[in-house]
Structures are given as structure tokens and as C-alpha cells.
Amino acid sequence: MTRWGEPFRESDALATAEVVDQAQIAIVVIDRFSLLRYWNPYARELFGFVGGRDYVGLSLLDIGIHESDREHASQLARRVLRGEPWEGTFAVLKGDSTWIHVRAQAVPMRDDSGEIDGITLIAREALRSGRVEEQYGLLERIGSRLASSLEFDSTVKGVAGILVPQFADHCFIDLYDHDRLVRQVSVHAEGWSPPADSWFDVGDEVRYPERHFVTQAMRRLETVVSSDYLFENSPNDRSDRVSRQVGVTSAIAAPLRARGEVLGVLTLALSGLSPRQKSSYGGFDRDLVGAIASRVALAIDNARLFEEERSTALAFQNSLLPSHFPPLDGLTLAHRYLPAGPLQAHGHGVQTQVGGDFYDAIPLSAGRVGLVIGDVEGRGPHAAAVMGQLRAALRAFAQADREPADILRELDEWVRQLGTPDGNGGVWIPSVSCLYMVYDAWSRELSYANAGHASPLLITSDSVEALDLEVTDRMLGVRAKGGSGEGIVYHQANLRLPLGATLVMYTDGLVDRRPVGGKADPERALERMTERVAEVADKDVEQIAEVAVHSVPGELDDDTALLVVRTHSEELALREGWFPSEASTVGAARHLAADTFKEWGVDRDQAELACLLVSEIVTNVVIHATPHPVHREFTGGGVLDSETPLDSGGMVDEFDEDWSDLLEAVAEEDESTDNPGEKEFLLRLRRGANAVWVEVFDHDLRLPRIRSAAADDEGGRGLYLVEQLASRWGSRPTPDGKAVWFEMPMHADEEAEIEVEEAEKDDEE
């Protein structure tokens, strides 16, 4: 071509492929199924195709389009295949892990018959040219990104990721923390980082000079552009030097305001880090950044409100669950609670993460422990409130040494009283699954009742499998929920755990996780958790708990509670003996206790106190134990006793500790009885790591109580002494009568010993 308008000579003609190869714009061809068929060299550079990889036949989505923009790409294909052009912007992760935003135009590609058999995509990097339509697209993208998140960190970092490097080389977000301005975000193009002690870093308190353009923007409450006097009033000389070295040419500062309050400031800057056609911001950029700042401020305010609401809800949830457990003899525990992710509820905002899953480990009499795992139906503050009341009631019932089945019957009644109106004239009552177990570390016996909860995993030296629970009854609250008036019977059973066994107790939120884009598969999830737990079966309970809660991938649609319990028998010992209920056996029982405490290494003073209390409770048994053994059965209808003491007039009265009956009278009664050996009691001594427990079992149904003895009473002070001297004491019904117990530390408190020594020194002085 010699002059404009003249045609090419045939010898000068360029092949179409050469033109496309030399074009400084990306050209990509995809077929009707959105599979890549062709791209030119510039497309390879723009999208960062990895050298040597064959992209032919891959989906358009495989070139690195961000998840949030995949719907745009799908929309592109649908629209163009209908014969309509498409234009838009989307984010792409290049092969070198850098982000860019691409402005693309797509048109249909037709065959000789006119049928659409593919799509031609023409693309270039967006926003660096400064075109107005692209900058409006930036505002739209930021709005979409802000609307998709209520997480504070992801909100501010997501905005910075969009602005850098497409609209700026540097992005700073500084927010007020009370009266301090603190840097929250500091993002730079090309992976550059400012030298130490030059520019403010994330977490630093930010102080701008009085005449600095950022200070002016916040004082005037308007967006300020600085180019000509950019390096005047720098925070310090080192900051000024780094700004000149990196080639900062222009900056914009926009105050972040929401609900009439200044939250902080957004600052953007251009420099020599990345090539672009423009080197300074103008009036349009100032207005654009001002609009962006208003949206960012509103998103930050919403995120903070949501974080505050979530923190309050989680604090409420955590206050309802135990944060730690006291040392428990024969057991080592680990626990986890994972709240569910935020749930979008149409027309109701975002639901909080709290729920009704709970766990507990309750110290019971004589070193036994109550283990609990449960799940209240639903989620939100109401489910958490129900859980809190339920756990408090369960703990009260358990500490009264009620049987597991009896406790579940009481809880079922309790749950039915927590119903709320359903809006249709009825009452909605949540269903609650609950597994309650009582473990005796000395005998390794586990007594349990189950209200519809999943069996724990049992870890032994040989295997990891579900614990075989013989009884499983309906969940709590289902009677009222189904409208049936029939009684629900909760059963209980016993089993013995193997030596060194570990239990993994969990709620269904752990196995009901939903894979991204898929459906929950509880059976497969349980298999996966079992496999992962088996890999760490010989590790400590904390490692097992950590592996278990992360063994199943997917989204947390429900909260999850986990309790890992490992049994062991170190430092445990037991000794017991049967004695006839005679006055002469009080001394024998005391001697057995004294010899045992000495063998176990109990401090002399503590042993003497314990022996004194042994005498007191054994004396009570000798005086008050009924001469005829009875049998107590725990049934679905309550507690049934096989026999009522003859001297009660048909009624079982309360045990009244009255020592007006002296031991001599008891001895005389024993001599006149034909078969004095018919009355007997069991003295059982237990040793833990730091304490001993004493239990006395007899066939009397009456539970002891403390009475107020008058000054001239000869008895009535035994249980008062037990209460004053023992760490804990109590009584509980048994299938054959009752047990009275107390706990005593093996070693005296060091602080108490120091106080005694100081008091003795003062007396000597």
C-alpha cells in the first residue's frame, strides 16, 4: 500500500494467521460446549498459560476465571450461542498466581450454513487504559464483591484485591480503633513490599502530619487527589525516600463514613510498579473513588455489626458450654465445639452460627464421671437457650446421682415444657438427642441411657468401630411433638470397656457436612472419620480430637460438638470388705481403712481425719440399717422397692440421724437376735491421683440428712463432722439400698500447712 486507501499488492498481502498472531489483543475461540479450540500468542500471555500444557479441549473456566465470575462466563456462552454479542469484565488468576481483570467481548462464530458452532472471544486487560466504561465496571464489581461477604477481613482484602493493580499500585485502608487510627490493609502491585520502618504496616498506629493530604481528606470529609505536592508533609524522611524510589506519581484519599461516623480512610496511589497509560488521577477518578469509599464504608460497618452480633452469639454459646474440666481420675478428655457457617435466610438476613449441640463431663460420687453428648434440633439463639437450660437440668439431676434412664425421663418432661407457639395455634417443641453415660474408672463399667443419639466410636488397640449400644430410645420431646399421650420408657444398660479404651462422642454436624456443590453423605463421612481417627489412634486425645473435627471436608451447615474420652487405670486402687452391722465391727472397719490409707501413702493427718469420718458413717449404718435386705428396681414407671421396713408403718421415712440410740443398745439388740449376721454393710475404699473416696453400702432405703443437734443431745453431729471435714460427701440410692460416701484429699493443702506453721510461730512468740 503506497497511499492510504490503496489496496495491498498481492505480494504484500499478509496471511490472516500472521495478523492474528501479531495482534496485541487476546483472541480465543471456543466451541458450543465452551471448550477451548484456539488462542493467539497474546492470549497465552494475557491469561498466563503455563508453557508445555495442552489447553485444547479444556473448559473456558479452566483458564483461571475466579469462582465469583464463573456465572458471568456461563452467561457469556448462553447469550452468544443465542446469537447475541456479550461484553463484560471478569477476574482471572494467571499461571504465575497473579490476578488480573479482563475486559472481554464475545461474538458468535457461524459455519457456512449460518449455524452458530462456536464463540470468538476478544479480550484485553481492563482498567489500566483509564476508559470510563471500564471504571464504571470497576464500581459494579466492587459492589458485587462487597455484597457477597459479611466477614470483615475478606471484605477489606477483597476490595484491595480488585483495586490493585487494575486501578492503583498501592491500596491502604486505615480504620479507627477507639481514638487510634490503625492500618488494616496494605496491598501493593507486583508483590512489592515496602522496606521495614518506612511505610506503616498492618497493625501499626497511623499518624499523618497536619498538612498531609490524608489528614485534609478526613478533616474536610471529602475525597482529595494529590499529585503536584505529593511529597510535601510526608510522615517521615524514610517514608518520603521510599515513595520517591518506587516512583509514586499520584494518590487519592477518601474518608470512610457510615451512619454519620468516620470509620477511617481509603488511600490509593499510582507508581512505577506496573506499566499503565495514565500516571496521575483526575477529577473523574476522584469521584469514582469517593463512590467506592462510600460502598466500602457501608460494607465495613455492616461487617463490624455482623462480627459484633456473631461474637455476642458465640460468647453466649461458649458460656453455656464448659471451657475446661477438672482433673478426673481414670480419664483424659479433649473437647471441641465448631459453630456452623452463616446461613442466608431469605427475608430474614443472616442467621447466627450458634446452635444446640452440647457436651459435658460431670464429676459424680466416689470418683465416677457422667459423660454427656447431645444435640437440640434447629439452630440460632433459641436452640442455644434450650441447650443451656437442658444442660443445667441434666447436670443437676446427674449430681444428685440419679440413674441414666431416670435422668432421661426427667429431661423428656423438661424439654416438653420449653415449647414455643408455632403460629398455628400449636406448640413447637424441639427434638433433642442425648446420650448419657456413667463411667466407673475402677471397674471400667459404663452405665448408659440413649435418647436417639449416634453411638460413639470405640478406639481399642485392635480397631476403631462404633460402640455397640444395646438400647436406643426415642429422642427427647418427641411425644409432645407427635401429639401422642403415650408414655415413653427410657431403658439403661451396662457394658465394660476394654483396658485403655478411648471413646469419640460426636454430634451429627460432624458427619452431615456438605461438600462444595454436592450433597451430604453421612455414611461415607462416618467411614472417612473412622479411617482418619484410626491413623492417630495411638496419639493423645487432643490430636485425636483435632483430626476428628477436620476429617470430613465440606461446609458446616450445622454446629458440631465433640468429646474424646480416654480411659486409663494408672494411680487407681480399690479395697473393700463386708462387715456385719454390729457395734464391734466399727473398729474393724476403721482398722481396714487405716491400714489401707497407710499403704496408699495418704498423709498421716489426712488419714486420721478420714478414719474419723469412716467411724461416723459406719456407726450410722450400724444404728440405722434395716435388718431385712430389700431390692430396688429402676423401671420405666419409676423406682420400685421390693420390701418396706416393718417398723415404718408402711411408709419409708427420711433417715434421721439421731444418736439417742447408743451403740450399747445396738449391741444388746444384736445379742438377742437369732441371726445377727443377716445385717451387713460394705466398706469400699478408692484411691485416685490426689484423693481417696470412702463408700459405705447398706440395705436401708432411707437417705441420711444432717440434723441440728441441741447442746444436750448425745448424738446427731456425725454427718455435720463429715460435711465440715470432707472435700465432698453425699448419698445415693442403689438397687439394694443406699450408699453414703465422702471424698478426702490424700495430701494436705500446702497453703493450709503454711498458715498452720505461721500460726504456731506466732503462738511461740
Number of Cα atoms under 13 Å in the Cβ half of residue 622: 30
Residue 655 in domain:
no
158 with 307, same domain: the answer is yes
Average pLDDT value for residue range 449-464: 94
Of these ranges, 118-122, 159-163, 318-322, the one predicted with the greatest mean pLDDT is 118-122
CATH of the domain at 597: 3.30.565.10
CB 665 within 8 Å of CB 671: no
Q: How many CB atoms lie within 10 A of CB 458?
A: 18
563 with 619, same domain: the answer is no
Lowest mean pLDDT among 171-185, 330-344, 707-721: 707-721
584 with 727, same domain: the answer is yes
DSSP state of 432: E
Residue 642 in domain:
no
502 with 604, same domain: the answer is no
Whether this model's pTM surpasses 0.75: no
Q: Of 549, 567, 585, which one is at a domain's C-terminal end?
A: 567
Higher pLDDT pick, 502 / 380: 502
pLDDT tens digits along 390-448: 999 999 999 888 899 999 999 998 888 887 777 777 777 888 999 999 999 999 999 99
CATH of the domain at 409: 3.60.40.10
Phi–psi pair at 545, nearest 5 degrees: -65, -40
167 with 186, same domain: the answer is yes
84 with 113, same domain: the answer is yes
What lies within 8 Å, CB to CB, of 476 at 6+ separation is 408, 411, 412, 415, 431, 432, 433, 434, 451, 452
Phi–psi pair at 85, nearest 5 degrees: -75, 160
Number of H helices, E strands in the chain: 18, 33
Bond from prior residue into 645 cis (ω within 30 degrees of 0): no
CATH of the domain at 96: 3.30.450.20
111 with 180, same domain: the answer is no
241 with 109, same domain: the answer is no
DSSP state of 684: E
The single residue listed with the C-alpha cell 498481492 is 10
547 with 426, same domain: the answer is yes
Is the predicted pLDDT of residue 682 greater than 80, yes or no? yes
CB 691 within 8 Å of CB 600: no
How many whole angstroms separate alpha carbon 67 and alpha carbon 93? 10
Residue 174 in domain:
yes
pLDDT tens digits along 588-620: 999 999 999 999 999 999 999 999 999 988 988
Is the predicted pLDDT of residue 626 greater than 90, yes or no? no
| CA distance to 138, 193, 339, 425, 516, per residue, from 513 (Å) | 36, 39, 12, 34, 9
CB 512 within 8 Å of CB 497: no
290 with 411, same domain: the answer is no
Residue 750 in domain:
yes
- The per-residue pLDDT for 754 is 44
pLDDT-derived band of residue 659, with 50, 70 and 90 as boundaries?
very low
Counting every residue written for the chain, the total comes to: 765
- Angle at 360 (CA atoms; ends 359, 364), nearest 5 degrees: 155
DSSP state of 160: H
Rounded percentage of the chain residues whose pLDDT exceeds 70: 77
pLDDT-derived band of residue 641, with 50, 70 and 90 as boundaries?
low
437 with 519, same domain: the answer is yes
pLDDT-derived band of residue 355, with 50, 70 and 90 as boundaries?
confident
Indicate the SS3 state at residue 14: coil
CATH of the domain at 245: 3.30.450.40
Residue 612 in domain:
yes
User: Residue 507: which of 315, 335, 312, 344 has the closest Cα?
Assistant: 335
pLDDT tens digits along 246-296: 888 889 999 998 888 899 999 999 988 877 767 888 877 888 888 888 888
In three state form, how does the secondary structure of 345-407 look?
Answer: CCCCCEECCCEEEEEEEEECHHHCEEEEEEEEEEECHHHHHHHHHHHHHHHHHHHCCCCHHHH
User: Residue 648: which of 700, 716, 714 has the closest Cα?
Assistant: 700
Phi–psi pair at 268, nearest 5 degrees: -125, 150
Give the domain extent around 538.
324-478+487-567
- Angle at 221 (CA atoms; ends 220, 226), nearest 5 degrees: 70
pLDDT tens digits along 218-250: 998 899 988 766 666 677 778 888 888 888 888
Q: Of 127, 142, 175, which one is at a domain's C-terminal end?
A: 127
542 with 444, same domain: the answer is yes
pLDDT-derived band of residue 134, with 50, 70 and 90 as boundaries?
low
Residue 359 in domain:
yes
Is the predicted pLDDT of residue 3 greater than 70, yes or no? no
Residue 633 in domain:
no
Domain count across the chain = 4
| CA distance to 263, 309, 338, 675, 733, per residue, from 315 (Å) | 25, 10, 13, 63, 38
Lowest mean pLDDT among 191-200, 341-350, 593-602: 341-350
DSSP letter string, 107-130: EEEE-TTS-EEEEEEEEEE-STT-
Rounded percentage of the chain residues whose pLDDT exceeds 90: 29
Q: Of 311, 345, 376, which one is at a domain's C-terminal end?
A: 311
- The per-residue pLDDT for 711 is 53
User: Residue 448: which of 393, 371, 505 has the closest Cα?
Assistant: 371
- Angle at 597 (CA atoms; ends 595, 599), nearest 5 degrees: 70
Is the predicted pLDDT of residue 566 greater than 90, yes or no? yes
- The per-residue pLDDT for 651 is 40
Residue 374 in domain:
yes
Handedness of CA 337, 338, 342, 343 (dihedral sign): negative
